[in-house]
Amino acid sequence: MSLSSLQVLVDNDNRNALLLAEVAAWLHDIGKSCDSHVKHVSGQKTWSNDDAYKVVVDHPNALIQLSQGAANIKKPDVLNNVLSAQSPKAADFIPKSIKDFLQDTRVHILGQNYALAELIMLGMPGFATHAQRNQLLDRKDGWLPAVLGLCHNVAHVDKEDPIGGAQSLPNVLTSNAFGYEEQKFVLGDPQRGLDAKLVQLKINTTALADSRKDILEAFQYGLGDTRRPTNEVTLADWSATVAALFKTALAGAILTNTQPQIRQWKSWKDKIIDHDFHWRLLRVNFDVLGLYAKAVRIADLLGYQRAVSEACEAVKKLVEEEYPLGNEVYRDTTGIYFTFPDLDLPADLEQEIRRRVEEVEPELAPRIAVTVGDGATATEQLKGILAKARGEAVESLAQPFDEHNLSPAWHQKWEDAQREPGQWEVCPVCRLRPKREGADVCEHCENRRASRLEAWKQDPAHTIWVGEIADHNDRLALLVGKFGLDDWLSGDLVQTMLVKADPNHNIFTPKNPSPARLRRVWETCQRFWDETVVKHSLTNTLGCLGERIHILPDKTNWTPGLYNGKVNGKPLDLFWQPKEKAFLTVSNLQAAGAIKPGDTVTLEQPDTKQKAEFQVQSIREAPAPFDHYQAYLTLHTSPDQFLALVPAAKALKIVNKIYMEYERQFGKVRNRLPLFLGLIFCERKMPLQAVMDAARSMLNMPVKEEQWKINAVDGNGHIQFENSIAWNIPTVMGDGQTEDLWYPYFALENPPAAPRTRQFQHGGKTWVHVKDLKQGDAVAVTPSRFDFLWLDAAARRFEAAYDAQGRRPARPTRPFYLEDLDRLENLWGRFSQLSRTQQKQVLQTIETTRERWFGRDNGLQSAANPTFKQFVTNTLANAEWDWKAISENQRKALTAVAVRGDLADLAELHLEILKENKE
């Protein structure tokens, strides 16, 4: 295969040069990954001068050769500093192998010739914009390092520097994108110090692409800037962004055989450089959840999951390495996005991407396009380009895939099949290929399934069996999560956080939605799912691992594979392991009850429906590593969406844990970065396709802004809203002392009568600091929500649909506010003091009356009806409990939730779904 349109990227060793130049960009701020640098920028002048952190070799003078004329030119400060730097400088801390590599490796590209270290030391905006840049170096015009300096500038985080904000040593904290701080490194610590991480860094010079992962890992701990509030962009975000821009800028120059120019500062104040570069995004999109929804078994779904990831990796290799055009900058439920030169998509590249994707899985049906950003300058274009590309992707994924784009191999398969004897049908999984009548699925889907099964055998602690995730009632829940990220990825809401806040001089400057910062925004969300939710919330809530046992049967002539069974009338799934001559249990043993020798187990082979039975001879512990499993299964994580299967009985606890972490890590922006959590409860036997359909509908719930009126404030982050929700917004930074002037702002619905101490304008609204909110203020809130669905019949999946107001026509009380769940659960606890029989009687009386008086009551007229309210109050008061003994507040609250119908919802959740039946 060779792509003629891109051949020049490979010729003349350009490919290698591009990959080397990329590494220089990755490492261009490696000196920031030193303890000394953090000390230096925090006020302890540690380096020999301010640019000594750029000096990555022992003798910069030996590498950077100035021209004879340079003596008479006023040189840029950065150049003077680099050349005059003494120890301590970055080179004193960088491993020798990396120093040698940077010094001895040269990039030859477009007639330019520089050592990597030269690129790093010169690649700064100050050098790039110097009026006589092309006369400074001996026989070199400085263009290549200038491009790096430009990319550094374009990726740059803020135009304006924070006011003060220096952190006190040694406890330097790293913020997430939204003002939640943690200590990621410990200065001077032999394990947790930045120097310690740097010493371990290695560059694999024969596999440069692999080195990226190592650099990214090491640089996660470093910071672009340590001052508040710009201590949120990590060195990893920063370096990855500069590298992607630099690589793409050079690839574009090679492809067009031009050297776009970099001139001087257009605006020093706004840090805008006058230059000719532009960037675009290449997007390769798949309907990931649509594919998952085709799965009949978990193994099918996980097979698709792997296919998507392999397809992304295949495209990545093509675009990042084989024809180095750019780097991945984002990936989510809609597909993968790369930086791309300022060119249209070449037809042969599109074709080759499609071919690579189809090689992995023809059903992926990729939509491939190049997105051009809006705006006149490169910086403006980059701000909104990811959001624009995602928008285009969603639109194109909503269109049915064009038949003509499908490879002719599909039709061939059917024609071939017809020639063979026997009957053929459409495969129920892929719904595309022919399968033999009587076979479960087509050959292709069977292989996908089988390969996933093999992967499980290698790593049996990660279960793929729904029976193992099911709880003691044999029920499970699909947990769906979603962040309302759209207006963040567009850069809009990034500007509701401040880089400068000085109430004394009325200076309030929004943060700049630069590419590096947008990366940090989605990276914070991705990390929330991967680390907080999976590693913390799920594992902690589920507690100890599930156990598996070996059951030895009286006959041993079984076909290997899965069997659905029953023992003593209770469910039991088994997996025949021929070598062991034993059945491994692959369902929750609590659901099966005690199993003893002599018990009869009835079985059904799920594919053939063939029935059989055996008698238990003996039982023993399953051998490691088959003896334990984690009782959850992550199906999907991307910055915006999350899917996992969990035991039904633990699902509410998990939701609560996730919510608490969200409050902690996203609390300062909770009014504008909503979290949606949903639970789809089902019996283990519920078809997966119905469950996935319901999940997709839930994830489509519209994210709606509302107006919330403030009832009371304490001036220190506590807000009581009229709708009875209360928030405690953190008002200090992670050190517990520094006042947070940058993150916790609210948009007022109406301009304030008198200006507040801390306020600024954005998007036509006045944004006011939480401490300056007042009673009676109406603020814009995009609330977090919680919903659940009991999928007791497959047809009920259609109930997970929302109208334009974001309500479920079938259940007008829902979704709940996520922040209300705790209060509702407490009220349920109070109501549960009635006997179960009484609870059911009370609710039945209320709900049948509601139906008799108001019919289906889609508009919730009942909730506003005083006669109905009186009826509900009387019903509660007359129940068999001491109503008068309950506090007046609680009586009011209980009446309110009973009138609205929330109480009936809670009853469904606790009594029907979770079967909390303790009479």
Smallest distance from Zn ion to CB 771, Å:
59
Considering the rule CB under 5 A, would residue 470 count as an interface residue with Zn ion? Answer: no
Smallest distance from Zn ion to CB 294, Å:
9
Compute the distance between CA of residue 3 and CA of residue 181 in angstroms, rounded to an integer. 47
The radius of gyration computed from the CA coordinates of the chain, to the nearest angstrom, equals 31
Scanning 302-310, 439-447, 820-828, 885-893 for contacts with Zn ion by CB under 5 A, the matching segment is 439-447
Smallest distance from Zn ion to CB 410, Å:
11
Helix, strand or coil, per DSSP, at residue 684: coil
Scanning 340-348, 441-449, 547-555, 628-636 for contacts with Zn ion by CB under 5 A, the matching segment is 441-449
Compute the distance between CA of residue 906 and CA of residue 897 in angstroms, rounded to an integer. 10
Asked if 87 contacts 48 with a C-beta cutoff of 8 angstroms, the reply is yes
Name which of 107 and 445 has its Cβ closer to Zn ion.
445
Name which of 245 and 429 has its Cβ closer to Zn ion.
429
* Per-residue x/- track, 187-216, Zn ion (CB under 5 A): ------------------------------
Per CB under 5 A, the list member of 442, 464, 655, 898 interacting with Zn ion is 442
Name which of 417 and 725 has its Cβ closer to Zn ion.
417
For 338, phi and psi rounded to 5 degrees? -125, 150
Compute the distance between CA of residue 457 and CA of residue 462 in angstroms, rounded to an integer. 9
Using DSSP bridges, classify how beta strands 582-585 and 570-577 pair: parallel, antiparallel or unpaired: antiparallel
Using DSSP bridges, classify how beta strands 785-790 and 675-683 pair: parallel, antiparallel or unpaired: parallel
Considering the rule CB under 5 A, would residue 476 count as an interface residue with Zn ion? Answer: no
Considering the rule CB under 5 A, would residue 433 count as an interface residue with Zn ion? Answer: yes
Asked if 28 contacts 242 with a C-beta cutoff of 8 angstroms, the reply is yes
Name which of 258 and 447 has its Cβ closer to Zn ion.
447
Compute the distance between CA of residue 679 and CA of residue 813 in angstroms, rounded to an integer. 16
Name which of 197 and 433 has its Cβ closer to Zn ion.
433
Smallest distance from Zn ion to CB 450, Å:
13
Residue corresponding to tokens 């009371």:
712
Of 374, 367, 368, nearest to 388 by C-alpha is 374
Smallest distance from Zn ion to CB 606, Å:
16
Compute the distance between CA of residue 350 and CA of residue 185 in angstroms, rounded to an integer. 43
Name which of 417 and 911 has its Cβ closer to Zn ion.
417
Per CB under 5 A, the list member of 245, 325, 430, 863 interacting with Zn ion is 430
Smallest distance from Zn ion to CB 415, Å:
17
Name which of 152 and 433 has its Cβ closer to Zn ion.
433
Name which of 149 and 434 has its Cβ closer to Zn ion.
434
Smallest distance from Zn ion to CB 436, Å:
11
Scanning 179-187, 205-213, 259-267, 435-443 for contacts with Zn ion by CB under 5 A, the matching segment is 435-443
Name which of 302 and 442 has its Cβ closer to Zn ion.
442
Name which of 18 and 442 has its Cβ closer to Zn ion.
442
Smallest distance from Zn ion to CB 432, Å:
7
Name which of 390 and 433 has its Cβ closer to Zn ion.
433
Return the structure tokens found at 813.
């009380």
Name which of 236 and 429 has its Cβ closer to Zn ion.
429
Compute the distance between CA of residue 552 and CA of residue 808 in angstroms, rounded to an integer. 50
Size of the site for Zn ion (CB under 5 A): 6
Three-state SS sequence of 341-393: CCCCCCHHHHHHHHHHHHHHCHHHCCEEEEEECCCCCHHHHHHHHHHHHHHHH
Q: Per the omega criterion (within 30 degrees of 0), is the bond before 170 cis?
A: yes
Asked if 364 contacts 334 with a C-beta cutoff of 8 angstroms, the reply is no
Interior CA angle at 616 toward 610 and 617, to 5°?
130
Compute the distance between CA of residue 244 and CA of residue 251 in angstroms, rounded to an integer. 11
Asked if 248 contacts 240 with a C-beta cutoff of 8 angstroms, the reply is no
Considering the rule CB under 5 A, would residue 427 count as an interface residue with Zn ion? Answer: yes
- Residues from 781 through 820 that contact Zn ion (CB under 5 A): none
Scanning 59-67, 443-451, 534-542, 896-904 for contacts with Zn ion by CB under 5 A, the matching segment is 443-451
Cα–Cα distances (Å) from 292 to 285, 695, 793, in that order, read 15, 10, 20
Of 826, 868, 823, 824, nearest to 847 by C-alpha is 868
Of 288, 203, 189, 272, nearest to 27 by C-alpha is 203
Smallest distance from Zn ion to CB 478, Å:
23
Compute the distance between CA of residue 687 and CA of residue 218 in angstroms, rounded to an integer. 44
Scanning 434-442, 667-675, 748-756, 808-816 for contacts with Zn ion by CB under 5 A, the matching segment is 434-442
Name which of 378 and 430 has its Cβ closer to Zn ion.
430
Smallest distance from Zn ion to CB 523, Å:
36
Task: Read off the amino acid at residue 903.
Answer: L
Smallest distance from Zn ion to CB 427, Å:
3
Smallest distance from Zn ion to CB 605, Å:
20
Smallest distance from Zn ion to CB 441, Å:
5
Considering the rule CB under 5 A, would residue 296 count as an interface residue with Zn ion? Answer: no
Cα–Cα distances (Å) from 643 to 481, 692, 790, in that order, read 6, 10, 17
Name which of 290 and 806 has its Cβ closer to Zn ion.
290
Name which of 242 and 430 has its Cβ closer to Zn ion.
430
* Per-residue x/- track, 385-424, Zn ion (CB under 5 A): ----------------------------------------
Return the structure tokens found at 719.
């807000």
Three-state SS sequence of 239-252: HHHHHHHHHHHHHH
Name which of 341 and 362 has its Cβ closer to Zn ion.
362
Smallest distance from Zn ion to CB 289, Å:
18
Scanning 98-106, 296-304, 442-450, 502-510 for contacts with Zn ion by CB under 5 A, the matching segment is 442-450
Scanning 57-65, 429-437, 557-565, 738-746 for contacts with Zn ion by CB under 5 A, the matching segment is 429-437
Residue corresponding to tokens 């599109």:
350
Smallest distance from Zn ion to CB 307, Å:
12
Of 524, 502, 504, 491, nearest to 161 by C-alpha is 502
Per CB under 5 A, the list member of 18, 315, 445, 846 interacting with Zn ion is 445
Name which of 317 and 431 has its Cβ closer to Zn ion.
431
Name which of 243 and 429 has its Cβ closer to Zn ion.
429
Scanning 301-309, 428-436, 700-708, 813-821 for contacts with Zn ion by CB under 5 A, the matching segment is 428-436
Smallest distance from Zn ion to CB 412, Å:
15
Asked if 84 contacts 78 with a C-beta cutoff of 8 angstroms, the reply is no
Residue 881: CB atoms within 10 Å: 17
Of 782, 176, 805, 905, nearest to 482 by C-alpha is 782
Smallest distance from Zn ion to CB 425, Å:
11
Considering the rule CB under 5 A, would residue 291 count as an interface residue with Zn ion? Answer: no
- Residues from 27 through 56 that contact Zn ion (CB under 5 A): none
Smallest distance from Zn ion to CB 529, Å:
30
Residue 481 burial by Cβ neighbours in a 10 Å radius (0-12, 13-18, 19+): buried
Considering the rule CB under 5 A, would residue 429 count as an interface residue with Zn ion? Answer: yes
Asked if 263 contacts 34 with a C-beta cutoff of 8 angstroms, the reply is no
Asked if 398 contacts 406 with a C-beta cutoff of 8 angstroms, the reply is no
Scanning 8-16, 307-315, 433-441, 544-552 for contacts with Zn ion by CB under 5 A, the matching segment is 433-441
Asked if 284 contacts 60 with a C-beta cutoff of 8 angstroms, the reply is no
Beta bridge partners, 549, equal 621
Of 285, 290, 293, nearest to 311 by C-alpha is 285
Binding site for Zn ion (CB under 5 A): 427, 429-430, 433, 442, 445
